[in-house]
Structure 1
Amino acid sequence: MDDFVGTQMPVRRLTDPAETIGELERAVPGLAALRLPEPCDIEWQVAETGLGVLLPADFKLLCELYPPFVLGDFLGVGGPAPGAEHAWAAGVRESLETVEEWCEEAGLAVPLHPHPAPGGLLPWAGSNRGDYFLWTTDPAGPDAWTVTVASRNSAWWHYTGGAVQFLADLVSGAVEPWALPTVRPHAVAW
């Protein structure tokens, strides 16, 4: 059964990682209070080697500036902790099995596949209801990746901006939360 809902686009795709972080901080006013006193020294090369792909700069900056956090008591966002990059990559790789099952079960008109398939999906966040927030990888490089939402209720949709801009647009209401609850502009560290 094809449960593809559609595609949403930002008014303007942000490409500067600092600008995307600023948009997210504007959308979630309390987020800045969670900012770490010093950026984390994450060994991205270890995480990226473990995944077999480079990661988007906006996501890496978000993970360096903030501890893992939950938006609106719903959406959990976090990357590798310093020293745990290998374990984080292993966890992401393990979740690809679930992504593969979901892709097969979705029966979408245009089939989706998990990473490392060309254009494959790679998870970057999840919800407390079991929804996946995935990158749709792109051969043009990680900063060209877009977002695919796979909701637990089998609705799939795309957003043509990056992950951090997606979070800002989802919370601010610039993006409709198709098949998701409204995400309140509240963040807590986890």
Structure 2
Amino acid sequence: MDDFIGTQEPFRRLHGAVAVVEELERAVPGLASRRRPAPAGINWAAIEADLGAGLPDDYTLLCELFPTFILDDFLLVGGPQPGVESAWVQRTLEELKIVTEWCADADLTVPLQPYPTVGGLLPWAASNEGDIFLWKTVPADPQAWTVTIASRNGGWWHYTGGAVQFLADLVSGAVEPWELPRVCPEVSWLMEASA
């Protein structure tokens, strides 16, 4: 049996980090009021050097504007914090051990590999139920990366938009939450991440 469920496409793929973050703010009305008063000042150059890859602009802007938050007591969305960037990279690389195991255990017609394999999967979010949200790191330009969802139930599926647009589409209902619960458009918890 193939664990691959399918691929969903956004109605229209949004481009430009500001437009995508604004779309998420529209989908999650309480989010805009939680913006930081100034960008966090994360050292993305250090992260890129440690990780060996740049990250999509929509994600980096989201991390600059908002501390770590949880959507509907389910989906943890966060990133590095200023001064502890290397700790965030280390945690991300540790998470790749789980991704490696899941890729090896998946019964997929087209096998998936973890990052740093070319086109490998790199985690960017997780649920409190063990689902993992990943980027497929091809093509070389991170702005064109798409999303892969690895469900704790063993199902895998793709979304051909970016990470932040995926969040907006998931909470708005524009994307089917295959093997995920419906996610309400509310920020149920917001925090500054620590090392």
Indicate the TM-score class for this superposition, using the shorter chain for normalisation: over 0.9
Q: SS at 2:30's partner residue? A: helix
TM-score, normalising length: structure 2: 0.96
Q: State whether structure 2 residue 138 is matched by structure 1 residue 138.
A: yes
Q: Does 1:180 align with 2:195?
A: no
Mapped pair 1:13 → 2:13: yes
- TM-score (normalizing by structure 1): 0.98
Asked whether 1:105 is paired with 2:105, we answer yes
Deviation digits for residues 112-141 of structure 1 (CA, Å, limit 9, x no counterpart)? 000011110000000000100000011331
Please list every run of 5 or more consecutive structure 1 residues that lacks an aligned counterpart in the other structure. Answer: none
**Structure 2 CA distance for aligned equivalents of residues 156 and 95 of structure 1:** 17
Aligned-partner Cα distance in 2 for 1:50–1:123: 15
The equivalent of 2:41 in structure 1 is 41
Q: Which residue of 2 aligns with 1:81?
A: 81
How many angstroms apart in 2 are the aligned matches of 1:175 and 1:74? 17
Moved more, 53-62 or 1-10: 1-10
The runs of at least 4 aligned residues of structure 1 exceeding 6 Å deviation read none
Shift of 1:15: 1.3
The one-letter code matched in structure 2 to 1:3 is D
Superposed CA deviations along residues 33-72 of structure 1, whole A, max 9, x for unmatched, are: 1110111100001111111101000000000000000001
Q: Indicate whether 1:52 and 2:52 are aligned.
A: yes
Say what the alpha-carbon RMSD is for the aligned residues: 0.8
Report if aligned partners of 1:48, 1:89 keep a CA contact under 8 Å in 2. no
**Whole-angstrom distance in 2 between the partners of 1:137 and 1:166:** 16
Q: Would you say how many aligned residue pairs link Structure 1 and Structure 2? A: 190
User: In the TM superposition, what is the alpha-carbon distance from 1:86 to its structure 2 partner?
Assistant: 0.4
Between the aligned residues of both structures, percent identity stands at 63
Q: Gaps spanning 5+ residues in structure 2: where?
A: none
Amino acid at match of 2:67: P
Per the alignment, in what secondary structure is the counterpart of residue 30 of structure 1?
A: coil
